[in-house]
Amino acid sequence: MRPWQKRWTFVAWLSAALLLFGCESDIRTDPYGKLCDSQQRCLAGYVCEKVSNTCVRPSELPGCRNGESLCDDSCVALASDPDHCGSCDVRCDAPANGDATCVSGACGVACDEGFLRCGTLCIDTQRNPAHCGDCGRQCGDGEVCTQGSCTLTCPDGQQNCHGSCVELSSEPRHCGACDKSCSVPEHGTATCVDAQCDVQCDEGYAACDGRCKKLTSDPENCGACGVTCTAPIGGGALCKDGACESVCSDDYDQCAGSCVDTQSDPENCGVCGHACEASACYHGRCSNDCGTLTRCNDACVDTQADPAHCLNCDNRCNAPLHGRALCGAAGCDFSCEEPYVRCGDSCVDTRSDPAHCATCFTSCPGTTNGSASCTAGECGVICNSGYSRCSGVCVDTNSNGSHCGGCNIKCRGKTECVLGACR
């Protein structure tokens, strides 16, 4: 196969893979003019021109569509985006057991199934002593709430946790003990099984060490948790339908599932399957003379460019996850697969990696009772079960004096927050 044929074959194969398998955008270190990802995002420093779905510089953005505004180099709908609600710098707070919403530029909440909206909170009225049976119905001193009624004691098998009767074996807010809250994963919810924290993942995701992963397309968990797709010399790796596959670089051909250089491979000399007998492969032909190249196990190679024989025949270059091995005059190196970028010795997705959010080594700060997150290159937090996100921190609105009964409701003077009310 001629070099130009190889290039077009590779481009056609990769284009089809992106369309068929939902891979993210065609973005390299310089993403200009490449496709935006599936959520119309680009690498830091570039924005998605949504009409053409390509990455451009912010100064070249022709303007946002009707109903959208430019916020941090991105076009967003201020009327409906909970991260930019009404204005660019307004991120809606999210209650425990619910999600933040934005309707007509005003923040709101949507409660999970089984929870009732009481003000800005999402309440389990079957167990909450401040809203027992209905919003605002408060149990008296010494009483507890069970099955929506105020009583003096909890039923057998349940524990009194601040006036709520709960089963410690199955309650993620009090898993195994009162106030022992379970972490909430991305793409899933927290659960408590036999007094141990666990997760329940959204449809299409599977639990892997407490995190929810997409086994059909995740190269770090391909087909099963912990199964990593390793990039071969001369190509990259992807996970398609739960199976690892190789994508060969322009100068390599795929032969029997491997990426080979048919210009030098003695087992596939010139074309796949053509083996040289008792001779080397030189420029795609069997020969006993390697000319100015170096003979390494019957392969005639340029040791200053071949990652399988870099600088000498026995030096094989390796690449990190999401990377491709390279060889140059200085030795081994690597490049990163789209849309990953190089940060030190790793290839990372700066759109979603909390340790490299938007740019390399920009770490998102953590928070008590929650974990750091990175979404579309912006830092955020995911709160543990039973905690609300208020102004970027995770709080218990039943006891926090600065967020008592709801975000940003402060108790004044000597009053304290008890069961969501200042007293």
The residue from 340, 370, 402 where one domain ends is: 340
Tell me, yes or no, whether 244 and 284 share the same domain.
yes
Tell me, yes or no, whether 119 and 182 share the same domain.
yes
Share of the chain above pLDDT 70, in %: 89
State the SS3 of 196-213: EEEEEECCCCEEECCEEE
**Strand-strand pairing, 144-146 and 121-123:** unpaired
Please give the residue that has the higher pLDDT: either 91 or 71.
91
Please give the tally of structural domains in the chain.
Answer: 2
Does 153 reside within a domain?
Answer: yes
> How far apart, in whole angstroms, are the C-alpha atoms of residue 255 and residue 268?
8
Tell me, yes or no, whether 205 and 146 share the same domain.
yes
Confidence at residue 63, expressed as pLDDT on a 0 to 100 scale: 66
For 9, the 3-state DSSP assignment is: helix
pLDDT in tens, 127-170: 999 999 999 999 999 999 999 999 999 999 999 999 999 999 99
Owner of token pair 């190789």: 246
Confidence at residue 68, expressed as pLDDT on a 0 to 100 scale: 86
Q: What is the mean pLDDT of residues 50-69?
A: 72
Looking at the predicted structure, is the pLDDT value of residue 6 above 90?
no
Does 269 reside within a domain?
Answer: yes
Across all residues in the chain, what is the average pLDDT?
Answer: 87
C-alpha 321: how far from chain center: 15
The confidence band for 60, taking pLDDT boundaries of 50, 70 and 90, is low
Tell me, yes or no, whether 255 and 299 share the same domain.
yes
pLDDT in tens, 381-395: 999 999 999 999 999
Does 308 reside within a domain?
Answer: yes
> How far apart, in whole angstroms, are the C-alpha atoms of residue 386 and residue 373?
18
CB atoms within 10 A of CB 117: 15
- Quote the Cα angle for 315-316-321, to 5°: 145
**Residue 95 contacts residue 78 (beta carbons within 8 Å):** no
pLDDT in tens, 216-238: 999 999 999 999 998 888 888 88
Looking at the predicted structure, is the pLDDT value of residue 368 above 50?
yes
Tell me, yes or no, whether 331 and 279 share the same domain.
yes
Share of the chain above pLDDT 90, in %: 70
Does 325 reside within a domain?
Answer: yes
Confidence at residue 410, expressed as pLDDT on a 0 to 100 scale: 95
The confidence band for 349, taking pLDDT boundaries of 50, 70 and 90, is very high
Does 229 reside within a domain?
Answer: no
Looking at the predicted structure, is the pLDDT value of residue 289 above 80?
yes
Range of the domain at 151: 114-213
Does 109 reside within a domain?
Answer: no
DSSP state of 59: G
Confidence at residue 40, expressed as pLDDT on a 0 to 100 scale: 67
Tell me, yes or no, whether 335 and 242 share the same domain.
yes
For 333, the 3-state DSSP assignment is: strand
Does 412 reside within a domain?
Answer: no
Does 256 reside within a domain?
Answer: yes
